Amino acid sequence: MSAILELTQISKRFGGLAAVQDLSFAVQPGRITTLIGGNGAGKTTVFNLITGYLAPDAGEIRFQGERIDGLAPHKIARTGISRGFQELRLFNRLSTLDNVQAAIPAQKGESIWRAIWGGKPLQDEAQATEARSREIIGDLTLSHQVDTLAERLSYGQQKLLALGRLVAAQGDFLLLDEPTSGLSPAMVDDFCDRMKALVASGRTILLIEHNVEIVMRLSDWVIVLHQGGKIAEGVPDEVKRNESVMHTYLGLGA
């Protein structure tokens, strides 16, 4: 199986600090791959490099076989990569429905002239956009909140809405940064089910997660970073058997 994402000997420095050093790894399609490591290990820098918020000093990043390192973030997003942030970045004064609709790309109504003169084709597109948005909201079990302002949702519901916006953006490759942080145990279980359902529907997820239990039960593959480099990778059970990973990062073992 060909990798959907490949990082080859990527490096990034900030002054005298090497945030990422000669890092190489691949992500296989249709899986949940998780990056773990202590604070300062380089996880968020890796996400910034993949999504174009930073350009690597050396190395290559390929998505579906094409180089994307050095491209602007909006051009990378058009390739099918969608990123979620720790801060939710919702439109708090818009409804759940409007938040999801706004994330659907390339709508003709975004052009002022087409909005004025679009006629029936524009109306048909608007109806299709609303229907698709309601479908996404239903999949997230938020149909009862479709008209609720985002700021009035619970934190867990806001997290689900942020995930729904990523789905609406038509990304087949999702980068999620600690998506379960701050959630109740019940909401964590629900969110994990949502991520598994997304993968079952054909998407691929690259995840940053600190919750050891979630990493072990959710991941198909785990990559361990330390000081910007990769020190281990494998299926969760293999990573758990790595003594340095167990003691230094996972807090397992004697």
- 119-147 pLDDT, tens digit each: 566 676 778 889 999 999 998 889 999 99
**Inside any domain, residue 90:** no
The last residue of a domain, from among 145, 170, 195 = 170
The verdict on 187 and 70 lying in the same domain is yes
How much of the chain, in percent, has pLDDT values that exceed 70?
A: 89
**Inside any domain, residue 89:** no
The verdict on 140 and 239 lying in the same domain is no
Tell me how many helices (H) and strands (E) the chain has.
10, 10
What's the pLDDT score for residue 7?
98
**Inside any domain, residue 122:** yes
Two structure tokens written together for 108: 């003709």
The verdict on 230 and 200 lying in the same domain is yes
What's the pLDDT score for residue 117?
46
**Inside any domain, residue 121:** yes
Tell me which of 13 and 125 has the higher pLDDT.
13
Average pLDDT over residues 108-127: 58
Average pLDDT over residues 157-167: 92
For the segment 44-83, what is each residue's pLDDT rounded down to a tens digit? 999 999 999 999 999 999 999 999 998 999 999 989 999 9
What domain range includes position 180? 1-80+171-254
Average pLDDT over residues 222-235: 93
The verdict on 55 and 155 lying in the same domain is no
The verdict on 198 and 178 lying in the same domain is yes
Average pLDDT over residues 149-157: 95
The last residue of a domain, from among 119, 150, 170 = 170
**Inside any domain, residue 131:** yes
**How many structural domains compose the chain?**
2
What's the pLDDT score for residue 3?
96
pLDDT above 80 for 115: no
The verdict on 145 and 119 lying in the same domain is yes
**Inside any domain, residue 159:** yes
The verdict on 23 and 68 lying in the same domain is yes
The verdict on 176 and 195 lying in the same domain is yes
Of the listed ranges 125-129, 184-188, 220-224, the one predicted with least confidence? 125-129
Average pLDDT over residues 213-221: 92
The verdict on 23 and 125 lying in the same domain is no
What's the pLDDT score for residue 122?
65
pLDDT above 90 for 248: no
Residue 110: CB partners within 8 Å, gap ≥ 6?
A: none
Question: With the CA atoms of 54, 9, 195 and 98 taken in that order, what torsion angle do they form, in degrees rounded to the nearest 10?
Answer: 20
**Inside any domain, residue 87:** no
What's the first-to-final CA gap in the chain, in angstroms? 38
Average pLDDT over residues 208-224: 92
The last residue of a domain, from among 122, 154, 170 = 170
The verdict on 254 and 176 lying in the same domain is yes
Q: What pLDDT band is residue 254 in, cutting at 50, 70 and 90?
A: very low
Average pLDDT over residues 191-204: 92
The verdict on 72 and 192 lying in the same domain is yes
Spell 184-211 as b/e; 16+ CB within 10 A means b: eeebbebbbebbeebbeeebbbbbbbeb
Q: What is d(CA 191, CA 156) in angstroms, rounded to the nearest whole number?
A: 9
**Inside any domain, residue 215:** yes
Of the listed ranges 115-119, 141-145, 160-164, 195-199, the one predicted with least confidence? 115-119
The verdict on 187 and 248 lying in the same domain is yes
Kindly report the CATH number assigned to the domain that includes residue 217. 3.40.50.300
